[in-house]
Structure 1
Amino acid sequence: MSVLLLPAAAWAAPAAPSDDPALLDVIEVDGQRQPGKDIVSPTEAPASLVDAAALAARAPGAALIDNGAISGQVQYRGVFGPRVNVRIDGQGFESGGPNLMDPPLHYAPMGLIERLEIDRGIAPVSAGPGLGGGVNAVLKQSRFGADDSWQSTGELAAGGRSANDSYGLSGFAALSNDRVRLHAFALRERGDDIEFPGGTIRSSDHERDVWGFGSGVQTGDHEFRFSARRQDTGPTGNPPFAMDIRYFHTDFWSAGWTHHGERSMLFADVGYTDVEHAMNNFRARPITDPTRFRETYADARTLTGRLGWRQAQGADALEFGLDLRTARKDVRITNPNNASFFVDSLPDIAEERVGAYVEWQRPLGEWRSELGLRVDRSTADAGEAAVGTALPMGPRNLAAAFNARDRDLSYTTTDLVARFWLPGPQHTWRLSLARKSRVGGYVERFAWLPTEASGGLADGNTYVGDLGLEPEVAWIAEAGVDLQLGAGWARPTLWYRRIDDYIQGVPFDDTPGVIDTPVEMVSSMNGDPTPLRFANVDAQIQGVDVDFGYRFSERWQLDGVASWVKGRRRDIDDDLYRLSPPSLRLGLSWLGEDWRWTLESQHYAEQDEVSQTNSELPSAGYSLFGLRADWILSPALQLQFGVENLTDHEYRPHLAGSNRVGGSDVALGERLPGAGRDVYLRVSWQW
């Protein structure tokens, strides 16, 4: 969301790229906006934010799934996890953890983000498959200069917050001329357990280090680019899960080429990601029985490629593309006290997707349009599950049954997108229609052993997968208008999604609680006599969201965001799991030449429309208040400071999940609270 808080000259966010100015919805004060895309800058949010998912959650229709300090997921218009197509610098990849402890934005620290690009509502087919919108985190990078003289730019920043005694340090440096650009960056973050009015949330600490470099060369009509970075996530708490992060060691590589013609562009990109992961239940949790110690090792390697051609003439633009994504994954559960205790819960998973798309932008009378078609062919298979001799016969029998099954899967999916908008001097009408699809994830299909690995649902249930899952298919309609009326503006949107074959956990059989199957027996041994299995059901999600603002005078401004979403099963009388309650955020700002003050309030209604299938608990509503300031001390030096949760109110966000950590000031099974009063400070120096 590009909120109207900042004077254009001093605070403007980077403008969205566009081949045609007619595609831009120009908003006073804060730069430019495409009708189909929101640009979110880190300068528009409190400097206390450490998780980029919390920044994305400030967009209309978005919310934060809080699974840990740096494990947040973006919920967008009722869908989250793999249903939202999240990339970093346009590169898609597979997370390393089966519980999505490292969702994509885990790898986009706030100190390195230049902006977030959010596809409002329906993502274009060129961005790849996905049921919801898309999010692209654009990291800081060098840019070519205007002539052959070398120019150096960069930033050093440091900050901290009181709620968890955390700090963050980051640095970025670039050197460029009109032919060559080079840059390097580094970041270090540490934070202790989070304090709230009732005490301390045990196992809510975090630790993250990132470093990398990038380069580009342009000669004639050709541009070449390369980037690499390493991220090491150290011991980090995840109180909604049964385990905490011990480490993520992750490498990113990408390279690309673009040929610029007079009216056309040919481009190619390749990317590779390698994630190594370990998590356990004993680093910060009171486990005394050596037979209950668990440590899980997982890895994921992703290779991506894209080749495309785009031609533009006037208001017309045509793009063709091919893309590829392959992934290999493994998950092994162990007991570090017993070398004979191990089980390959997700063994040697191989996934591949090959896609082709065409996208056409053209005028239709006074209207503008974007029409897209995508076809994907996806395949997946799994190796054989191995089980250590220390495990009882129950898991052994389940592994044998899994190994005896045909595990080669294939799917063909088709996506269609039609987006229309009618620009005007004071309003832009918008209408979008789409058919979008998603193939189930590897946990949803290949999980043969009942465990709490669920792709980040964090509902405390144990799950098994289903090799017979059909792809999800969503039929989507959206309508809205962007209004610019004098000193005020608003962008309301009404939307509806009807999802066939929605993948959801359901009772394992028709007699839940009656332990009469091998899966239920094994699950009961692990403490859950009512396991769930992933299955295809029918669902619908609908809602309305709006962002708005009003400039009272040269100095005073009000802006806000309101969102409402409702999701239900269509096959039974039940609500969908973990949907954000109705919310409203308001910000009153005073804008000076070198100062900006903002008083912000956040209001969340109660959420009593909860999933009975997932044993979801209702939550109470609450309101929070915060005060922040930005002070430009000089053209190079900027200071940001503020206080979140001014009244030190104890509150329980509905999307925070339930506590799974013993010995905490939050009871086991109780909804996790948000942070108490939080004072923060950030200083940055640019050159």
Structure 2
Amino acid sequence: MKSSILSLAAALTATHPAFASDGDLKSADIIIVTAPRLTATDEARETEDELSTGPDGAAFVARQPGAALVANGALSGQVQMRGLFGERILLRINGQHFATGGPNAMDPAMHYAPTTLIERVEIARGISPVRDGPGLGGGVNTILKYSGFGDSGNLSPQVDISSQYRSVDDSVAAGGMLGLASDTVRVGIIGSYEKGDALRFPGGRIASTSFERAVYGAHAGFRAGPGELSIEYRRQDTGRSGNPPFAMDIVYFETDFARVGYEGDLGNELRLEAHANYSSVNHRMNNYESRPAPVTAMTRQSDTYADTMGADANIRFGTDDRHIRVGADFEIIDKGYMLYNPFTPAFFIHPLDRAKSDRVGAFIEWRSGFGAVESELGLRVDRHGASTEAPRYGPGVPAGPVNLANAFAAADRNWSDTSVDASLRLWANIGAFTPRLTLARKTRTPSLVERFSWLPTEASGGLADGNIYVGSENVKIEKAWVGEIGFDWQGYNAYARPVIFYRRIDDFIQGVPFDNSPGVINTPVEMVAAASGDPTPLRFTNTDATIWGTDIAFGAKLIGPLRFDGVASYVRAKRRDITYNLYRIAPANGRLGISWEAARWSLSIEGQFVAKQSKVSAINNEAASKGHVLAHLYGHWLIRDGVRMDFGVENLFNTYYLEHLAGYNRITGSDVALGARLPGARRSGFARIRWAM
């Protein structure tokens, strides 16, 4: 889907009150990434349209300033924002937060957002508002296509469908929304299907990178006076999809989402918002169907599940820009997985067995102003709990893992604690200039994997560094002190939005050597890890870290229909307790596009500039990377109002390059050497057509 990737928060606002109000979006310093224009170009608009052609919804976000793509597979990419990724980012789909099913995050949140179904993405670049829940870094809320209310009492049809072909992996994608709506009722269905072959690079193919995914669902909304009741259901079936950075590939994900909500004005400047949601993920992965099979004794398959139930409610007293909001929410997660040999029934073990976490929270936000200065002050408190059952295992499991299982069964497997988040945002609308200041304390609770993984495995929440990990039952909540300063400037023919940020993170959770004698196998954990091929396992524990940097979005109109737009980002991340760099941090990078925009067509050439990254993590055996420069060509043709074709060529000069955030190849028989960093895609042509009415 086409996106306004450089949009300024002040320039774009939400179009559907069921997800966020205009006042919320502006006060929260949120960038909106929207769908393509399907009418003639408005010459007064402030940004160019850009494309994300891959199936992974994370790539749709990764073109933002401060953002990057952690590429773990065609459908398993994660969003990195200012050095943080994974569960440290507050990720939601249609406002719904949920637990992913894979212990290695093969299904991060954007796995459930096919590009053909994305309506818009709301991105909190720095921190997410406390009303959205706890979270250490920024936030991403991806809104899928939906039917909107009409202007009359008669039901009218709505259509928004698109299809695409991409040459680099011979992939096809098609999807969209069909709906009927009046001014009081809206109903719609969504669906998409994608399939792709192995990804090609200059020099060959990357084995086990094919993919297949289908999504379908229905939604409805009903207006009753000033309020709306909404309901939605969505099903996703991911088929066999490769993950070369991991020890296993996806066999399937079978996932259901359900959400119901009410939002409406109760009179006298009083507004109520309430939602309830449920998700259920069932997942299978193995190491023999999509890659060369190992010897029978080392054949492995894993079945996992993750169920999430949650609800939230808040009341706003006042107007959009002058109010007090109070609310509460809760979330309950049930998660586990079994590792087994499908050809040896006696060998099975549950590294995470019937694990549960719960959270109950409350918050208050105050939106006010003092002269030209606007402010938003937020505070939330959450009570967390986690527990797990004693692990089960079969009679064919060796003595080493059995002893670890029995020791874990005898340990304390219950935990609880309280977290406090607070934020202060200040900004002033001074004509074309809007200075911004953010101060915050943000937290992140350890995952069930980080706390309760007693068996040494590669389950790491998506780090994909090839190391074996174990959890720590006494790991503490992460706490970050955040400061950001920047401004928005919007002139008649130009704009700029620079930000400088700093995070001091106490109790940052990091893998460290299991004991003080790494490489000396003198503990049961190290013995079991060595039998699995890694005599130097890591354990999740608390350290201290700092992350700082800067990013900017900018652009200007030149002469007539000629314009340029760009982004640039720099982040530095290191531990404070010892002299080590943090793992998998994006190098300095930027994009600059020059566009010629006519009334019904455009043509753009984009340069992508990536610096080398030598500040790497020795603990994670991270390799340094060289810098590279790529060129891309994009264009669009508005065939008629409501029908648009996008086309282009990525990596125009077929440059061989390595993305620093790409994983390392774990598959034999590929054109990529075993253990080498996965290369970037070769020259790729694409074409996409979209019809909406």
- Shorter-chain TM range is over 0.9
In structure 2, relative to structure 1, the CA distance for the partners of 1:678 and 1:13 (3 Å cut) is farther
User: Aligned pair count?
Assistant: 676
Query: Are 1:47 and 1:641, in contact at CA under 8 Å, matched by a contact in 2?
Result: no
SS, match of residue 403 in structure 2: helix
C-alpha displacement of 1:637: 1.7
In structure 2, relative to structure 1, the CA distance for the partners of 1:71 and 1:229 (3 Å cut) is same
Cα distance between partner residues in 2 of 1:321 and 1:108: 28
C-alpha displacement of 1:364: 2.1
CA deviation digits over 1:143-185, x for unaligned, max 9?
A: 1122211111112321110000000011311101111110001
C-alpha displacement of 1:365: 2.4
Aligned mate of 2:627, from 621, 628, 653: 621
Matched, 1:551 2:557: yes
Unaligned runs of 5+ in 2: 37-48
Query: Are 2:22 and 2:320, in contact at CA under 8 Å, matched by a contact in 1?
Result: no
Structure 1 match to 2:32: 39
Aligned mate of 2:289, from 283, 308, 319: 283
Matched, 1:679 2:672: no
Q: Which runs of 4+ in 1 moved over 4 A?
A: 1-6, 11-24
Matched, 1:532 2:525: no
Aligned mate of 1:316, from 315, 322, 325: 322
Cα distance between partner residues in 1 of 2:276 and 2:445: 22
Cα distance between partner residues in 1 of 2:67 and 2:52: 19
**Within 5 Å, which residues of 2 pair with 1:446-465?**
446-465=452-471
Cα distance between partner residues in 2 of 1:126 and 1:314: 15
Cα distance between partner residues in 1 of 2:24 and 2:537: 50
Structure 2 match to 1:233: 238
Structure 2 match to 1:29: none
Cα distance between partner residues in 2 of 1:155 and 1:140: 8
Aligned mate of 1:566, from 567, 572, 592: 572
Cα distance between partner residues in 1 of 2:195 and 2:35: 19
SS, match of residue 338 in structure 1: coil
C-alpha displacement of 1:19: 9.5
Cα distance between partner residues in 2 of 1:498 and 1:556: 42
Cα distance between partner residues in 2 of 1:353 and 1:387: 29
Cα distance between partner residues in 1 of 2:6 and 2:58: 20
SS, match of residue 401 in structure 2: helix
SS, match of residue 564 in structure 1: strand
C-alpha displacement of 1:313: 3.5
Matched, 1:207 2:212: yes
C-alpha displacement of 1:47: 4.9
Cα distance between partner residues in 2 of 1:409 and 1:47: 42
Matched, 1:420 2:413: no
Query: Are 1:35 and 1:421, in contact at CA under 8 Å, matched by a contact in 2?
Result: no
Between 393-402 and 309-318, report the one with greater CA deviation.
Answer: 309-318
In structure 2, relative to structure 1, the CA distance for the partners of 1:5 and 1:593 (3 Å cut) is farther
Aligned mate of 1:642, from 648, 652, 677: 648
Query: Are 1:141 and 1:183, in contact at CA under 8 Å, matched by a contact in 2?
Result: yes
Cα distance between partner residues in 1 of 2:354 and 2:433: 53
Query: Are 1:20 and 1:315, in contact at CA under 8 Å, matched by a contact in 2?
Result: no
Query: Are 2:420 and 2:442, in contact at CA under 8 Å, matched by a contact in 1?
Result: yes
Structure 2 match to 1:30: none
CA deviation digits over 1:16-73, x for unaligned, max 9?
A: 979998888xxxxxxxx66701001254332523211111111111100000001111
Structure 2 match to 1:128: 133
Structure 1 match to 2:186: 181
Cα distance between partner residues in 1 of 2:538 and 2:21: 50
Between 258-267 and 87-96, report the one with greater CA deviation.
Answer: 258-267
**Within 5 Å, which residues of 2 pair with 1:600-615?**
600-615=606-621
CA deviation digits over 1:288-330, x for unaligned, max 9?
A: 4111110000000000100110122374111111001001011
C-alpha displacement of 1:267: 1.8
Cα distance between partner residues in 2 of 1:19 and 1:201: 41
For 2:248, give the aligned amino acid: M
For 1:267, give the aligned amino acid: E
Cα distance between partner residues in 2 of 1:2 and 1:631: 16
Aligned mate of 1:217, from 202, 222, 241: 222
In structure 2, relative to structure 1, the CA distance for the partners of 1:470 and 1:616 (3 Å cut) is same
For 1:602, give the aligned amino acid: Q
C-alpha displacement of 1:120: 2.3
**Within 5 Å, which residues of 2 pair with 1:355-366?**
355-366=361-372
Cα distance between partner residues in 2 of 1:632 and 1:305: 42
In structure 2, relative to structure 1, the CA distance for the partners of 1:12 and 1:597 (3 Å cut) is farther
For 2:172, give the aligned amino acid: Y
Structure 2 match to 1:68: 73
SS, match of residue 407 in structure 2: helix
For 1:167, give the aligned amino acid: V
Structure 1 match to 2:39: none
For 1:170, give the aligned amino acid: G
In structure 2, relative to structure 1, the CA distance for the partners of 1:185 and 1:501 (3 Å cut) is same
In structure 2, relative to structure 1, the CA distance for the partners of 1:315 and 1:34 (3 Å cut) is closer
For 1:135, give the aligned amino acid: V
Structure 1 match to 2:62: 57
Cα distance between partner residues in 2 of 1:128 and 1:450: 31
CA deviation digits over 1:640-667, x for unaligned, max 9?
A: 1100000111111000011111110001
Cα distance between partner residues in 1 of 2:76 and 2:261: 29
Query: Are 1:16 and 1:39, in contact at CA under 8 Å, matched by a contact in 2?
Result: no
Cα distance between partner residues in 2 of 1:105 and 1:310: 30
C-alpha displacement of 1:220: 2.0
Aligned mate of 2:413, from 407, 413, 436: 407
Matched, 1:489 2:482: no
Matched, 1:376 2:382: yes
Structure 1 match to 2:46: none
Cα distance between partner residues in 2 of 1:650 and 1:296: 35
Cα distance between partner residues in 2 of 1:288 and 1:470: 38
For 1:585, give the aligned amino acid: R
Structure 2 match to 1:27: none
Query: Are 1:214 and 1:227, in contact at CA under 8 Å, matched by a contact in 2?
Result: yes
For 1:350, give the aligned amino acid: K
In structure 2, relative to structure 1, the CA distance for the partners of 1:91 and 1:136 (3 Å cut) is same
Query: Normalising by structure 2, what TM-score?
Result: 0.95
Cα distance between partner residues in 2 of 1:113 and 1:314: 26
Query: Are 2:77 and 2:111, in contact at CA under 8 Å, matched by a contact in 1?
Result: yes
Query: Are 2:312 and 2:328, in contact at CA under 8 Å, matched by a contact in 1?
Result: yes
Query: Are 2:14 and 2:21, in contact at CA under 8 Å, matched by a contact in 1?
Result: no
**Within 5 Å, which residues of 2 pair with 1:585-600?**
585-600=591-606
C-alpha displacement of 1:553: 2.8
Query: Are 2:5 and 2:34, in contact at CA under 8 Å, matched by a contact in 1?
Result: no
Query: Are 1:47 and 1:680, in contact at CA under 8 Å, matched by a contact in 2?
Result: no
Structure 1 match to 2:44: none
Structure 2 match to 1:575: 581
SS, match of residue 508 in structure 2: strand
Aligned mate of 2:395, from 389, 396, 399: 389
SS, match of residue 111 in structure 1: helix
Cα distance between partner residues in 2 of 1:324 and 1:143: 29
SS, match of residue 656 in structure 1: coil
In structure 2, relative to structure 1, the CA distance for the partners of 1:597 and 1:441 (3 Å cut) is same
SS, match of residue 346 in structure 2: strand
Q: CA RMSD in A?
A: 1.9
Unaligned runs of 5+ in 1: 25-32
Structure 1 match to 2:45: none
Matched, 1:196 2:201: yes
For 2:560, give the aligned amino acid: E
CA deviation digits over 1:417-472, x for unaligned, max 9?
A: 00000111121000000000111001100000000010000000000000000100
Aligned mate of 2:256, from 244, 251, 255: 251
C-alpha displacement of 1:12: 8.5
SS, match of residue 519 in structure 1: helix
SS, match of residue 396 in structure 1: helix
SS, match of residue 444 in structure 1: helix
Query: Are 1:59 and 1:561, in contact at CA under 8 Å, matched by a contact in 2?
Result: yes
Matched, 1:272 2:265: no
Structure 2 match to 1:398: 404
CA deviation digits over 1:463-511, x for unaligned, max 9?
A: 0000000100000000001112331110000000000000000000000
Structure 1 match to 2:174: 169
Percent sequence identity is: 46
Query: Are 1:47 and 1:681, in contact at CA under 8 Å, matched by a contact in 2?
Result: no
CA deviation digits over 1:518-549, x for unaligned, max 9?
A: 00000000000000000100000000000000
Structure 1 match to 2:336: 330
